[in-house]
C-alpha cells in the first residue's frame, strides 16, 4: 500500500469504530445526528469536496456527486446509519479499486526496472559512474557482473552471459563475446565486458520500449471508449430518473413524499457506474501488463482488442519462420573457377547489409579490398550491381538476370539461388540456405487450434524454396518471388478475403517490413531485440524470435475480451434488477450498497484475472 491508501484505510477503520459507537449509544434528536455526522465527515469529506469542486467546474454527473446526493439525502430523511454505511462501503470499494489498479500498474511498471541508473566509464584507470544520457556514440563503457547494460553497443572485450528476461520473458541467458551485439535493459550476469556504444540513450532499445509502455494506456479499445461515452449519458439519465421518481408518483397517487424520496435515494446509490468505468479499463490494463511479463509489448488496448478477432495471419518468411541465418550450401560456376565465382559475388555484395550478402562474404573468408570496387548499387528485391576491377558484376535473382538479358540456369538444390553475371555473361550461381526455426511448425499448429482460418507466407525466395517451407510448416498458402511492393499488394488482396469482423495480422521481423506492418489490421514484429524498425512500425512487439508467442498473444487478447464482456453483462444485469426493485420499494439502502460497491469489487477481482498469464490454451 502507498501512503494515500494507508491514510484511507485508517479513515475507514476510525469511521467504522465511530459508527459502531454511535449505534451503541442511545442518543436521540440532535445528539444522534451529531454522533453519526462525525464518522460521516471522517470517511466522506473528500467525496463531498470533489463533488463540490467538480460542480464548480461544470462536471456535475459523476460518482462523487451521486454518493454525496444520496448520503446527504439519507441524512435529510433521518437514515443516519445508512448514510454513513453507504459512504463507508463506497470508500472500501475505492480503496480496493486503488490497490487493484496499483497492482496492475506494477505488472507494466516492472518493465521500468530495465531503465539504467548509470554507466561506467574509465577515467585515469578508475571506473566512474555517469548518467547514460552523457555517453556519446563510439564511447566505451564497462559493465560489471550484476549490472544493467545501460546502452546498445558491441562487445569489444570480455565474455559473459546476459539475462534478457526483462525484455523477452524468457529465463534462458544468452552468451556474448567479442563482436556480439548487446542491447540496453539486459543484465550482465557472469563476466566483466567492455562495450562500444552504437546508439545514444534517447535512441536505445530501452528508451524506445519505455516510451512504448508509458504511452500504451493512451490508445483506448472500442469497449473502453464505449463505456466512457455510456457513463456520460447514463449518469445524468439516472439522476433525472431519480428526481422524477421522487416527485411524480406522490403527485399522481398522493403517496408519502418521504417514502418516494427514500426510493429515489436508493435508486441513486444503485445507479453509480463505478463497476463499469473502472473494471473495463482495468481489464485491458491488466491484459497489457500480463503480456509484457511474457515479452509481448502491446501498444494499446485497441490493438489487444483487435487481436482477439484475428482471422488471417500472414508471415514474412526470413527471420520470422526461419532463423535468418544464411549459409552457402552450393557453388556452381559456369566457365570460371569456383573460387573466382565466390570472390566476385563477395565483392559485389560487400556494401549490402542483407543477410544473404553477409553469408556470401563469410563464405569467401578473405578481406575485401574496397579500392577494387569502382561503384556499387543495390537493386531492391533483385540483387546488386557493381564494377569490380573494371568488370560489371551483377549478383541476384532470376529477375535481375532477365532484366539484364542474361540466360541463367535453374538449380536443383533447395535454397535461395544467387546468380552471377560478369560483363553480360552468365558466370554461375551460389545457393544459400536458411534454416527453419524448430518452433515454427508448432506455432502454425497452435494458431490453427485457435480457429485461425488462413495462414499465408510471403517471401522473395524462389517458388520451389518458398513452397517447400510452407508445406513443411503446414501453411495454407505461399506467395513467392515477391518484391517489397508486391508484399503490400498481396496483403491488400488478402484484406478483401476476411469477414467484416475479422482481422488480418501481418508478422515480420521488422527489417524492411514497415510498409506491410502498417497496412495490415495488426502488425506484429518479432525478434525485435535491438530492431528500431520493429518497435516503431508494429502495433505489437514480440521481444524474442519464438513464433509460438503469437498464439499466446491471441490467448491473452481473447481472455481479456471475455473478462470485459463478463464485467459489462454482470454489472449492468445486477444494476438493472436492483434498480427495478428500488423503484418498486423492494430494495433497501444496504442492497443498494451491494449493487454499487459489491458489484464493483467483484468486477475488479474478475478484471485482475487478466494479469494472470498461463501457458495453457485459453
- pLDDT tens digits for 55-96? 888 777 677 777 787 788 778 777 788 788 878 887 887 787
Q: What is the DSSP string of 371-395?
A: GGEEEEEEETTTEEEEEETTEEEEE
* 340 or 465, greater pLDDT: 340
- Range scoring the smallest mean pLDDT among 168-177, 308-317, 337-346, 573-582: 168-177
Instruction: Give 136's DSSP letter.
Output: P
- pLDDT tens digits for 278-304? 778 778 888 887 888 788 888 888 899
Whole-number average pLDDT of the chain: 84
pLDDT band at 102 (very low <50, low <70, confident <90, very high): low
Please give the angle made by the CA atoms of 355, 360 and 366, to the nearest 5 degrees: 125
Are 43 and 84 within 8 A, CB to CB?
A: yes
Burial pattern 4-28, b for ≥16 Cβ within 10 A else e, equals eeeebeebbeebbebbeebeeeeee
**Sign of the CA dihedral with 223 first, then 228, 229, and 232 last:** positive
* 484 or 467, greater pLDDT: 467
Residues in the chain, how many? 618
Q: What is the distance between the alpha carbons of residues 176 and 162, in angstroms, rounded to a whole number?
A: 7
pLDDT band at 533 (very low <50, low <70, confident <90, very high): low
Q: What pLDDT is recorded for position 344?
A: 95
Q: What pLDDT is recorded for position 368?
A: 92
Q: What pLDDT is recorded for position 617?
A: 42
* 332 or 278, greater pLDDT: 332
- 367 among known catalytic residues: no
CATH numbers and ranges of domains, the chain: 117-150+152-198 (2.70.150.10), 323-435 (3.40.1110.10)
pLDDT band at 510 (very low <50, low <70, confident <90, very high): low
pTM over 0.75, yes/no: no
* 255 or 435, greater pLDDT: 435
Question: Which phi and psi angles does 185 have, rounded to 5°?
Answer: 100, -20
User: What is the distance of C-alpha 129 from the center of its chain?
Assistant: 33
- pLDDT tens digits for 225-237? 776 677 677 778 8
* 401 or 54, greater pLDDT: 401
Q: What is the distance between the alpha carbons of residues 185 and 171, in angstroms, rounded to a whole number?
A: 14
How much is the average pLDDT of 27-44? 89
Q: What pLDDT is recorded for position 323?
A: 82
**Which residue in 316, 398, 461, 555 is the catalytic one?**
316
CA distances in angstroms from 423 to 36, 107, 227, 352, 376, listed in the order given? 99, 61, 68, 20, 15
How much is the average pLDDT of 391-411? 92
pLDDT band at 265 (very low <50, low <70, confident <90, very high): confident
Q: What pLDDT is recorded for position 218?
A: 60
Q: What is the distance between the alpha carbons of residues 538 and 518, in angstroms, rounded to a whole number?
A: 7
Q: What pLDDT is recorded for position 90?
A: 78
Q: What pLDDT is recorded for position 228?
A: 67
Q: What pLDDT is recorded for position 616?
A: 44
- Range scoring the smallest mean pLDDT among 46-60, 239-253, 273-287, 463-477: 273-287
Amino acid at each position: 500500500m502507498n501512503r494515500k491508501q494507508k491514510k484511507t484505510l485508517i479513515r475507514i477503520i476510525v469511521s467504522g469504530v465511530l459508527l459502531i459507537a454511535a449505534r451503541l449509544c442511545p442518543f436521540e434528536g440532535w445528539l444522534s445526528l451529531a454522533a453519526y455526522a462525525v464518522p460521516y465527515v471522517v470517511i466522506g469529506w473528500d467525496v463531498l469536496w470533489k463533488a463540490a469542486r467538480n460542480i464548480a467546474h461544470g462536471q456535475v454527473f459523476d460518482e462523487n456527486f451521486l454518493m454525496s446526493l444520496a448520503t446527504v439525502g439519507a441524512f435529510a430523511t433521518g437514515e443516519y446509519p445508512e448514510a454513513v454505511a453507504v459512504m463507508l462501503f463506497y470508500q472500501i470499494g475505492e480503496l480496493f479499486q486503488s490497490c487493484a489498479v496499483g497492482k496492475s500498474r506494477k505488472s507494466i511498471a516492472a518493465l521500468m526496472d530495465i531503465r539504467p541508473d548509470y554507466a561506467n566509464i574509465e577515467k585515469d584507470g578508475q571506473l566512474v559512474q555517469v548518467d547514460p544520457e552523457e555517453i556519446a556514440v563510439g564511447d566505451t563503457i564497462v559493465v560489471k557482473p550484476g549490472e544493467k547494460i545501460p546502452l546498445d553497443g558491441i562487445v569489444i572485450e570480455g565474455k559473459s552471459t546476459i539475462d534478457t528476461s526483462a525484455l523477452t520473458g524468457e529465463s534462458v541467458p544468452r552468451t556474448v563475446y567479442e563482436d556480439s551485439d548487446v542491447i540496453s535493459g539486459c543484465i550482465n550476469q557472469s563476466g566483466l565486458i567492455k562495450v562500444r556504444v552504437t546508439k545514444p540513450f534517447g535512441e536505445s532499445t530501452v528508451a524506445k520500449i519505455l516510451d512504448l509502455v508509458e504511452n500504451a494506456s493512451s490508445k483506448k479499445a472500442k469497449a473502453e471508449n464505449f463505456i466512457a461515452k455510456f457513463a456520460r449519458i447514463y449518469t445524468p439519465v439516472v439522476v433525472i430518473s431519480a428526481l422524477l421518481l421522487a416527485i411524480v408518483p406522490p403527485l399522481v397517487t398522493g403517496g408519502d413524499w418521504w417514502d418516494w424520496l427514500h426510493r429515489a435515494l436508493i435508486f441513486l446509490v444503485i445507479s453509480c457506474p463505478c463497476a463499469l468505468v473502472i473494471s473495463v479499463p482495468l481489464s485491458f490494463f491488466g491484459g497489457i501488463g500480463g503480456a509484457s511479463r511474457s515479452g509481448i509489448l502491446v501498444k494499446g488496448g485497441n490493438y489487444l482488442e483487435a487481436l482477439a478477432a484475428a482471422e488471417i495471419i500472414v508471415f514474412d518468411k526470413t527471420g520470422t519462420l526461419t532463423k535468418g541465418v544464411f549459409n552457402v550450401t552450393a557453388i556452381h560456376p559456369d566457365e570460371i573457377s569456383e573460387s573466382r565465382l565466390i570472390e566476385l559475388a563477395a565483392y559485389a555484395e560487400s556494401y549490402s547489409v542483407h543477410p544473404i550478402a553477409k553469408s556470401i562474404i563469410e563464405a569467401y573468408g578473405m578481406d575485401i579490398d574496397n579500392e577494387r570496387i569502382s561503384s556499387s548499387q543495390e537493386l531492391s528485391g533483385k540483387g546488386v550491381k557493381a564494377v569490380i576491377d573494371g568488370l560489371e558484376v551483377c549478383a541476384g535473382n532470376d529477375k535481375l538476370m532477365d532484366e539484364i538479358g542474361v540466360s541463367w540456369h535453374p538449380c536443383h538444390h533447395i535454397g535461395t539461388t544467387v546468380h552471377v553475371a560478369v560483363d553480360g555473361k552468365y558466370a554461375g550461381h551460389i545457393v544459400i540456405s536458411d534454416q527453419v526455426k524448430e518452433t515454427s511448425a508448432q506455432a502454425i499448429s497452435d494458431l490453427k487450434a485457435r480457429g485461425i482460418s488462413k495462414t499465408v507466407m510471403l517471401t522473395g525466395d524462389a517458388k520451389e524454396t518458398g513452397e517447400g517451407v510452407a508445406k513443411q510448416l503446414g501453411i495454407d498458402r505461399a506467395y513467392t518471388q515477391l518484391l517489397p511492393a508486391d508484399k503490400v499488394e498481396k496483403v491488400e488482396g488478402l484484406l478483401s478475403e476476411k469477414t467484416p469482423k475479422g482481422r488480418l495480422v501481418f508478422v515480420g521481423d521488422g527489417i524492411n517490413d514497415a510498409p506491410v506492418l502498417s497496412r495490415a489490421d495488426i502488425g506484429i514484429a518479432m525478434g525485435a531485440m535491438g530492431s528500431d524498425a520493429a518497435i516503431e512500425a508494429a502495433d505489437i512487439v514480440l521481444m524474442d524470435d519464438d513464433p509460438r508467442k503469437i498464439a499466446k498473444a491471441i490467448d491473452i487478447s481473447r481472455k481479456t475480451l471475455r473478462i470485459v464482456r463478463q464485467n459489462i453483462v454482470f454489472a449492468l444485469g445486477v444494476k438493472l434488477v436492483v434498480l427495478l426493485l428500488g423503484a418498486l420499494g423492494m430494495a433497501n439502502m444496504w442492497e443498494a450498497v451491494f449493487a454499487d460497491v459489491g458489484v464493483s469489487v467483484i468486477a475488479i477481482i474478475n478484471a485482475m484475472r487478466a494479469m494472470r498469464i498461463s501457458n495453457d490454451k485459453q
